[in-house]
């Protein structure tokens, strides 16, 4: 039995039963008909199955636990107490209002307090929250709050720059526009010099495209 025909029984964020793959595929057929096409024609015949399968990938974050990802830490850091910054983490998410892509970069930083976490775990936390229906403001806060709660650092900061296809391909049709959100906690919020140092570190990079 393939992956798409094995639905998870529960959605962690809502505790609602997840529909079967067959129900999901029928919903896609309905949307195709709503768009004005025939879901039974050759080019669209397998589209409902492909879409249902892609949803398992796009929204895998509902089955992932960001807190668990951060639980393993390291204390042998030789007294290191400066900023740890992971820059330019690619963000691929979907707008919860129109279910269209949000594509951008996240910059995640924390000021360690006796322990650090593997840097790949920071990227995994970003991916876990991004792989859900989102608004950028909430996504930014979720990432920062989770890192701050689990690691208990002296400070946590998350900055996200992203383009939203809900405003570039529909509605106002404004391509080339990016949205920037930030969440500063601890020293990054209360100490202006620490905040300035972080922003300088984030800005000290070669320009790159959000779509790269």
Which active-site residues does the annotation give? 95-98, 136, 164, 166
Residue of 205, 197, 200 whose CA lies nearest to 105: 205
Query: Under a CB-based contact definition with an 8 Å cutoff, are residues 6 and 52 in contact?
Result: no
Query: Under a CB-based contact definition with an 8 Å cutoff, are residues 182 and 144 in contact?
Result: no
Please list, in sequence order, all residues whose beta carbon lies within 8 angstroms of the beta carbon of residue 23, skipping any fewer than 6 positions away: none
- Torsions phi, psi for 81 (to 5 deg): -140, 25
Inter-CA distances, 163 with 44, 93, 181, 201, Å:
29, 10, 12, 22
Sheet hosting strand 155-164, strand order edge to edge: 133-134, 84-95, 101-111, 155-164, 179-186
Provide the CB-side half-sphere exposure for 183 (13 A, CA). Answer: 19
Q: What 3-state class would DSSP assign to 211?
A: coil
Rounded Cα–Cα distance for residues 121 and 191 (Å): 26
Tell me 16's DSSP state. Answer: P
- Torsions phi, psi for 159 (to 5 deg): -125, 130
């Amino acid at each position: 039995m393939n992956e798409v025909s094995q639905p998870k029984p529960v959605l962690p964020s809502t505790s609602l039963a997840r529909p079967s793959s067959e129900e999901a595929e029928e919903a896609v057929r309905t949307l195709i008909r709503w768009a004005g096409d025939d879901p039974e024609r050759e080019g669209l015949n397998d589209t409902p199955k492909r879409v249902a399968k892609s949803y398992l990938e796009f929204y895998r974050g509902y089955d992932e636990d960001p807190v668990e990802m951060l639980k393993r830490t390291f204390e042998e850091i030789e007294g290191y107490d400066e900023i740890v910054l992971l820059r330019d983490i690619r963000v691929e998410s979907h707008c919860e209002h129109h279910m269209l892509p949000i594509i951008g970069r996240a910059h995640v930083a924390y000021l360690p307090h006796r322990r650090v976490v593997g840097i790949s775990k920071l990227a995994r936390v970003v991916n876990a929250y991004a792989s859900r229906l989102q608004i950028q403001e909430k996504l930014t806060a979720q990432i920062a709050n989770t890192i701050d709660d689990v690691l208990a650092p002296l400070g946590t900061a998350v900055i996200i720059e992203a383009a939203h296809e809900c405003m570039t391909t529909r509605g106002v049709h404004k391509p080339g526009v990016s949205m920037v959100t930030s969440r500063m906690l601890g020293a990054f919020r209360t100490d202006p010099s620490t905040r300035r140092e972080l922003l300088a570190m984030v800005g000290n990079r070669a320009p790159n495209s959000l779509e790269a």
